[in-house]
Amino acid sequence: MPVISTRGELMPASPIRRLAPLADAAKARGIHVYHLNIGQPDLPTPQVAIDAIRNIDRKILEYSPSQGYRSYREKLVGYYKKFNIDVTADDIIITTGGSEAVLFAFLSCLNPGDEIIVPEPAYANYMAFAISAGAVIRTVTTTIDEGFCLPKVDKFEELINSRTKAILICNPNNPTGYLYTRKEMEQIRQLVKKYDLYLFSDEVYREFVYAGTPYISACHLKGIEQNVVLIDSVSKRYSECGIRIGALITKNKALRKTVMKFCQARLSPPLVGQIAAEASLDAPEDYTNEVYEEYLERRKCLIDGLNKIPGVYSPIPMGAFYTVAKLPVDDSDKFCQWCLESFEYDGATVMMAPASGFYTTEGVGRNEVRLAYVLKTEDLKKALVVLQKALEAYPGRVLE
């Protein structure tokens, strides 16, 4: 029998999706599952995007240019200007979701065996993309007790060697909701400049910043313009996960030329998705404001509710729509599985993402979960009741 590739064997299963069959089984038993496990917004997509799809007047759904439609890229220039990000249409390459942008960045910047430093916990698919490119993720660990703030410079420098080629950040952060401060971004800038590293900056949650001050983009950092690769996506800000439209943005012409080779090999990003994404840029300001206010209310509901449950702790996330919470359990992987297989309260249970899947350091995060506040507040309140009852009933509860 033919063997599976080493790369395939090393590819991690999604910590978010691997429990899906258990959730399906629970639903088949008539149990309502509150999905706190995945960042799928439930708020409506802008009506202008829906209308643009409905009103497509084409006889052929043809290939689009490999770098994406110029009209869309030119409109994006105006969008980024609102955040003081100064780019041209030629700096922007449209990708099939933010995921492809990360993968193409890795493939274009890294050789097999090259290393990327990533603060953990981190978005689990970064590891999958690194394996696809033959690269190695090296992590600096942030802790829930310190609010997931960035470790000091020396922790990064302990990892830097001749194979180190990049630092990767997600700001605001998935899974923690942490927002990097100006001081922390300056720390990263100095490391990138000192060691001439790439800085991959995933900023798909920039609309969701709750700190009262604007977020600091990697594109705001002076003196490293040729090192920065910005990763973006419409999935979260417009509730358009399914149209698979992202972007890779860099002022490094040589890098753009290389990325384009991979873009040409996959032919083109989704045509219909670009039509919807371009139309979304015309969504009224009320749309963005209403979405923001809704997430602000949900954040308060979830964080306040979590911290009222005995033994549970969650720091206050300052961005995105996630939080990582510490639970009084022996093993969050077992607990999340048990909730779906063996528990229900008033006909319902909860589905969460075990935080261990967002760490690469063995044994870290075993009593933590990531929760997404992508349900309306009345459902979040019900889910919190179910979670508290589950913790009370769980055989592996850790008593204080």
CA distance 383 to 305: 10
- Helix residue ranges per DSSP H, the chain: 6-10, 20-28, 47-54, 70-81, 97-109, 125-133, 153-157, 182-195, 253-265, 271-280, 285-308, 332-341, 377-393
Question: In terms of Cα–Cα distance, which of 394, 243, 187 is closest to 309?
Answer: 394
Confirm if 355 and 368 have CB atoms less than 8 A apart: yes
- CATH class name, domain 48-280: alpha beta
Instruction: For 261-323, give the DSSP string.
Output: HHHHHT----HHHHHHHHHHTT--HHHHHHHHHHHHHHHHHHHHHHHHSTT-B-----BTTEE
From residue 68, alpha-carbon distances to 72, 116, 264 in Å are 7, 28, 11
Question: In terms of Cα–Cα distance, which of 31, 13, 36 is closest to 351?
Answer: 36
User: Structure pTM?
Assistant: 0.96
pLDDT in tens for each of the 400 residues of the chain? 999 998 889 888 776 678 999 999 999 999 999 999 988 889 999 999 999 999 999 999 999 999 999 999 999 999 999 999 999 999 999 999 999 999 999 999 999 999 999 999 999 999 999 999 999 999 999 999 999 999 999 999 999 999 999 999 999 999 999 999 999 999 999 999 999 999 999 999 999 999 887 789 999 999 999 999 999 999 999 999 999 999 999 999 999 999 999 999 999 999 999 999 999 999 999 999 999 999 999 999 999 999 999 999 999 999 999 999 999 999 999 999 999 999 999 999 999 999 999 999 988 999 999 999 999 999 999 999 999 999 999 999 997 6
Cα Rg of the chain (Å, integer) = 21
Angle subtended by helix axes 97-109 and 125-133, to nearest 10: 40
CA distance 40 to 55: 26
pLDDT in tens, 161-220: 999 999 999 999 999 999 999 999 999 999 999 999 999 999 999 999 998 877 899 999
Confirm if 167 and 156 have CB atoms less than 8 A apart: yes
The rounded Cα 391 to chain-centroid distance in angstroms is 27
Sheet holding 322-326, edge to edge: 322-326, 368-372, 353-354
CA distance 128 to 131: 5
Segments making up each domain of the chain, as ranges: 6-44+286-393, 48-280
Local structure of residue 251 (DSSP, 8 states): S
Residues across the chain: 400
Is residue 340 helix, strand or coil?
helix
Q: What's the topology of domain 6-44+286-393?
A: Aspartate Aminotransferase, domain 1 (3.90.1150)
